[in-house]
Chains A and B, each alone.
Chain A
Amino acid sequence: EAQVTQNPRYLITVTGKKLTVTCSQNMNHEYMSWYRQDPGLGLRQIYYSMNVEVTDKGDVPEGYKVSRKEKRNFPLILESPSPNQTSLYFCASSPFINTEAFFGQGTRLTVV
């Protein structure tokens, strides 16, 4: 089944403890991106990747890192999480630029 898979689905962590949210797609898509969703602010793009080893900042990149070493994987790294990074995170992939995007199930992160 074609899908975008995020892990974990739920995570509660403490301030400053490094964490990684994984994202994997099995559709051989070139484009992948990360969004966060916050009440009143909607969904905003954090980072995106146009292909292996090619990444760029979205609208809200501060406090996040990404890497794209393989085409199928695009992990989101929080080196030192803070409470303002408590949010619902989505990974998305699409075949090429300006094509349909497919979203993962979401990761609900709480930083205390």
Chain B
Amino acid sequence: GIQVEQSPPDLILQEGANSTLRCNFSDSVNNLQWFHQNPWGQLINLFYIPSGTKQNGRLSATTVATERYSLLYISSSQTTDSGVYFCAVDHTGTASKLTFGTGTRLQVTL
């Protein structure tokens, strides 16, 4: 099956700092999404981005499908950004199944 690797696995930032999270995948994909899992366990949709670039406030994402990677940028981080960030891809074309990466655990401190 497809492999989805995220880096770094853990990240500690001071409030106000910027960061880049990376997602590499081993095969072509039909769908790529970024999620934030907050400390209460909820999965929050950040971006649906199978290709191209999108921005939403302090967050932006870029997917280069031909090179099989996606980047999530967080600018001016806040303590509420803490949690785990997941990249998830669907490459089946038939089952609409998301394969999740192992996640990047982000902690933003004061």
Contacts and interface: CB of A to CB of B under 8 A. Distances in A.
A68 B41 CA distance: 26
A78 interface: no
B56 interface: no
Nearest to A30: B96
In terms of DSSP, what is the predominant structure of the interface of chain B?
A: loop
Given A31-B96, A48-B96, A98 B43 contact: no
B96 A101 contact: yes
Given A42-B102, A106-B43, A33 B97 contact: yes
Contacts of B102: 42
B66 interface: no
A1 B10 CA distance: 34
A83 to B, nearest CB: 20
Nearest to A96: B96
A102 interface: yes
A101 B46 CA distance: 11
Contacts of B30: 98
A105 interface: yes
Contacts of B101: 42
Interface string B35-78: 10000011101001000000000000000000000000000000
Contacts, number: 59
Contacts of B31: 98-101
A94 B41 contact: no
A65 interface: no
Contacts of B90: 98
A97 interface: yes
B34 to A, nearest CB: 11
Contacts of B35: 103
Given A90-B43, A106-B41, A48 B48 contact: no
Interface of B: 30-31, 33, 35, 41-43, 45, 48, 86, 88, 90, 93-98, 100-103
10 contacts: A43-B86, A58-B97, A92-B98, A94-B96, A97-B95, A100-B48, A101-B45, A103-B42, A105-B42, A106-B43
